[in-house]
Amino acid sequence: MRESNQIVEMRGIVKTFPGVLALDKVDFDLHKGEIHVLVGENGAGKSTLVKILSGVLPLDHGNIQLDGTPVRVTSPTRAQKLGISIVFQESNLSPFLTVAQNIFIRHEPERIGFIVDVKEEEKKAKELLESLSIDVNPRALVNDLSLGKQQLVAFARALSFHPRVIILDEPTSSLTAQDTDLMFSALKKLKAERVGIIYISHRLEELFQIGDRITVLRDGRKIDTLDIKKTKLNAIIQMMVGRDISEMYPKESTKIGEEALRLSHVTRKGVCKDVSLSVRKGEVVGLFGLVGAGRTETMRLAFGLDPMDSGSIQLFDEDVTHQLPGKLVDLGMGFSPEDRKKEGLCLALSVKENIERASLDRMFPSGFVSGKKEKEVAQKYVDDLKIATPSIERLALYLSGGTQQKVVLAQWLCAGSSVLIMDEPTRGIDVGTKVEIYRMINELAQKGTAILVISSELPEIMGISDRIYVMCRGEITGELKHGEVTAEKVASCAFGTQEAVDATKF
Amino acid sequence: MRQSSNLKFLRWFEAVPSITWILLGLIIIFSIIAPNFGTIDNAFNLIRQGAVLIIVAMGMMMTITSGGIDLAVGSFIGMAGVLTAFSLSQGLSWPVAILIGIATCSLSGLISGLIVAKGRIFPFVVTFGMLFMARSVSLGFSHGGSIHIENANISFINEGSLLGLPMPFWITVVLLLIVLFLTKRSVFGRYIFAIGADPVIASWMGIKVDLVKVTVYVLSGTLAGIAGVVLASRINTGNGLVGQGTEFFAIASVVIGGTPITGGRGSLAGAILGALVITVLQNGLTLLGFSSELTSAVVGVTLMLGVIFAQWVYRGGLRGNK
């Protein structure tokens, strides 16, 4: 009897990307009419697993069964035909088509051959949206909708295929509470119709609200599948994190000096509200929060990349409110962005050129570049930071993620930065290089650099920081010192709902 | 109260593509200052002159919206004319000759499209190469000069008229209806917009991105080929040099018509109005006795102003920042 209840069965799924084992023999199964929650840290392999099931990524090894029959999901179209629909994490609609056009793209109501029956399309879209109580005009351009509404339209599109299996990858990350409720009631209806639902979310409090079973992934491996009703939140967090924190994070105490950077009441509409924080010389400050909490956006304000509405920023003794990044770099600030490939370095430039990118004015005040000096300086940083490159002339494009991150750091060291903002410095980096980066952060702190690290990895931020600020929905919801930090405290600030955490009884 | 009526006006003003105002302005100015501009004869002249650019601009609108570009269309114009003239000179009948001229352009578009889609090479580079190859074909067959066309049926394409309007007008209208239908009402049109906005997301939606790309380049080549035949009938020769630079006027028409060069969105009406603006400018300035150098300069300035104006309206125009 239990067999007939199973709709999806994935066995021994293996997927490698160049240099990374993203999924290591993962087993996963989904029952009819259940909401199966998939959790794990960033990079644990959740999105990769569902992308394989929905035909976006090919698998290396393993097999998939649907209703007991082995299937090969070779393309998104194939998945649609098999009855597997997915709503991706990022908006996956075409911005300059209308809502109705987006919902029915690839299965348009047709009159003759390839001609779209526009009236029928709009009518069907309207019916579908109304049945889900989504208040969106089918004729509106998707580009004109808020992110949350776009996500609801993507959800409607997924349902328009009448799927047997629906996958939701962080569907509520940009939804309002009201829209979240709306989606949940739709999901409950689907459950009753025996649709299998895979649900990925970082908002752990949600999972208890709607989930039936939970599977935890970590570093590409399945840790366990559990009945959610019999599981406690702290047990889930422990499974997600899993490692022994003290070994990985060689935290050394440093002498903490005067204040280096201070944000006072920084506000920007839709980004952050009344954010005040400070970093001292020799101090490593962590900024934690869920994806979408506004951490990156706030630090972009601090580095002058975006304008702010009100508040002030102080760098050492100088008021640098509304200053441009160029001026801030001159005053000793450095910024290592989250997306190092796009914003952190120039992939088409060599290691040498990347390292010296922010320092050429200072290195060569005459305006003429000395090739000899250029090489000496670059070589020094390559040696000091043990940057794994065959030559300083190697293009950044060909380096591994961890090595690229070191080059970004070298760039700011070369520029003499004394205040460093690092956004997700270890994202997508293997464990060994991670530890090296933590060591470098320590060394810098010991030399008196003020460091602010944004991270979504709880153990990382707990391991390396002297002090942690937690953000939730654009506001600072907590400040915790090294000694008093526990995963539970940080998590409860990050989720912004003390009650939700209490309810699950730590 | 005044505020609301003001806003109503603004909304109406912004609903009409900004290029329309530029076109209307030019027509009014030239009607006043240029001798013979406002005559029926000149209007027919404008239609004949404008047809070639409008037809090519329709194809360019599709390639640009799909996230690509087709730089070879100017050379296709020459190639279609020369091959049609050459085929006639070899004793082939006129429909076959025209078919050869146009089909060669379609085939060249197919080659461009296949290299762009399957080879994953930038369309700019691929079609730039195709520009030289097609030009060399037309120069080769015309021995670097031109082949005279003596065929009443071919001349009819330019000189004939239906219901009192010249044939190039009807050809343009028919093609316009087809392309309008393709972009607005067909499944294929949706896919052009989707792949231009984001090819990865489009493929996640299950769209066959490569197939759509290839089709767009075939259509662009075919339209340029038709434009080439229309032009050849006007000058009664297959000339290996004609059409040079038309690709840039076509890109300009599309861009001042409100289609961003980065793709993902596009306006067919805008592209056609853009092509009309360029045609009217060239015609009006010539009537005013401007030298061709000066005409180029004025066209250039107008293009820039047109794009700036379009951008300004797009960003919120008189209402300020969005």
Provide the H-helix boundaries in A256-350. Answer: 295-302, 325-330
Selected for mutation to probe chain A from B183, B184, B190, B201 (highest A CB count within 10 Å) is: B190
- Cβ contact B194–A105 (<8 Å): yes
CB of B322 less than 8 A from some CB of A: no
* Distance from the B201 Cα atom to the nearest Cα atom in chain A, whole angstroms: 6
Each residue's pLDDT tens digit, A434-484: 778 888 898 889 889 999 999 887 878 888 899 999 988 888 888 888 777
pLDDT of residue B52: 94
Task: Give the integer Cα–Cα distance in Å for B191 and B183.
Answer: 9
- Domain A257-332+419-428+445-506 in CATH: superfamily? P-loop containing nucleotide triphosphate hydrolases (3.40.50.300)
> Does residue A173 or residue A498 have the better pLDDT?
A173
Q: What crossing angle do the helices spanning A431-446 and A401-414 adopt, rounded to 10°?
A: 10
| Phi, psi for B17 (deg, rounded to 5) | -55, 135
Task: Give the integer Cα–Cα distance in Å for A66 and A80.
Answer: 13
CB of B190 less than 8 A from some CB of A: yes
Chain A residue numbers touching B186 (CB-CB < 8 A):
114-116
- Cβ contact A115–B264 (<8 Å): no
* Distance from the A163 Cα atom to the nearest Cα atom in chain B, whole angstroms: 14
pLDDT of residue B12: 58
Chain A residue numbers touching B201 (CB-CB < 8 A):
92-94
Q: Would you say A311 and A475 are in contact if contact means Cβ atoms under 8 Å apart?
A: no
pLDDT of residue A503: 39
- Cβ contact A106–B264 (<8 Å): no
CB of A115 less than 8 A from some CB of B: yes
Total residue length of chain B: 322
- Cβ contact B205–A88 (<8 Å): no
- Cβ contact B194–A94 (<8 Å): yes
Each residue's pLDDT tens digit, B203-234: 888 888 999 999 999 999 999 999 999 999 98
* Distance from the B213 Cα atom to the nearest Cα atom in chain A, whole angstroms: 16
pLDDT of residue A499: 46
pLDDT exceeds cutoff 60 at A504: no
Each residue's pLDDT tens digit, B108-155: 999 999 999 998 889 999 999 999 999 999 998 988 788 888 888 888
Chain A residue numbers touching B265 (CB-CB < 8 A):
95-96
Each residue's pLDDT tens digit, B36-91: 887 888 888 888 889 999 999 999 999 999 999 999 999 999 999 999 999 998 98
ipTM of the complex: 0.74
Residue A384 CB neighbour total at 10 angstroms: 13
pLDDT exceeds cutoff 90 at A53: yes
Longest dimension (CA), chain A: 82
Task: Give the integer Cα–Cα distance in Å for A51 and A431.
Answer: 24
Rounded to an integer, what is the distance from CA B221 to the centroid of its chain?
Answer: 11
pLDDT of residue B10: 57
| Phi, psi for A481 (deg, rounded to 5) | -90, 160
Q: What is the mean pLDDT of chain A?
A: 85
Amino acid at B269: A
CA distances from A3 to A8, A30, A67 (A): 11, 11, 9
> Does residue A500 or residue A421 have the better pLDDT?
A421
Chain A residue numbers touching B198 (CB-CB < 8 A):
94
Nearest to A88 among B197, B203, B204 (CB): B204
Q: How many CB pairs under 8 A join A and B?
A: 56
Provide the H-helix boundaries in A331-479. Answer: 351-356, 360-363, 371-384, 401-414, 431-446, 458-464
B28-35 long-range contacts, CB within 8 A, separation 24+ = B29/B284, B30/B280, B30/B283, B30/B284, B30/B287, B30/B288, B33/B288, B34/B284, B34/B287, B34/B288, B35/B287
Task: Give the integer Cα–Cα distance in Å for A76 and B121.
Answer: 24
Strands (E), A240-283: 259-268, 272-280
pLDDT exceeds cutoff 50 at A506: no
A368, with CB counted inside 10 A (0-12, 13-18, 19+), is: exposed
Give strand pairing partners of B147: B238
* Residues of A (35-64) whose Cβ lies below 8 Å from B: 56
CB of A179 less than 8 A from some CB of B: no
Q: Would you say B194 and A142 are in contact if contact means Cβ atoms under 8 Å apart?
A: no
Return the percent helix, strand and coil in chain A, to nearest 5: 40, 25, 35
CATH 3.40.50.300 residue window(s) in chain A: 2-241, 257-332+419-428+445-506
pLDDT of residue A253: 76
DSSP output for A343-355: II--TTSBHHHHH
Q: What is the mean pLDDT of residues A378-402?
A: 85
Domain boundaries, chain B: 39-243
Each residue's pLDDT tens digit, A333-368: 999 888 887 788 888 888 998 898 888 888 888 888
pLDDT of residue B17: 67
pLDDT of residue B315: 65
* Distance from the A36 Cα atom to the nearest Cα atom in chain B, whole angstroms: 23
CB of A161 less than 8 A from some CB of B: no
Which chain B residue lies closest to A78 (C-alpha atoms)? Answer: B206
| Phi, psi for A423 (deg, rounded to 5) | -100, 115
Q: Would you say B66 and B212 are in contact if contact means Cβ atoms under 8 Å apart?
A: yes
Question: For B255-279, b where at least 16 C-beta lie within 10 A, e where not — what string?
Answer: bbbbbbeebbbbbbbbbbbbbbbbb
Spatial CB neighbours of A223, under 8 Å, sequence gap ≥ 6: A216, A217, A239, A240, A242
Rounded to an integer, what is the distance from CA A321 to the centroid of its chain?
Answer: 28
- Domain A2-241 in CATH: superfamily? P-loop containing nucleotide triphosphate hydrolases (3.40.50.300)
pTM for this entry: 0.74
Chain B residue numbers touching A105 (CB-CB < 8 A):
190-191, 194, 205, 207
Chain B residue numbers touching A106 (CB-CB < 8 A):
205-207
Terminal alpha carbon distance of chain A: 36
Q: Would you say A355 and A410 are in contact if contact means Cβ atoms under 8 Å apart?
A: yes
> Does residue B261 or residue B173 have the better pLDDT?
B173
pLDDT exceeds cutoff 80 at A134: yes
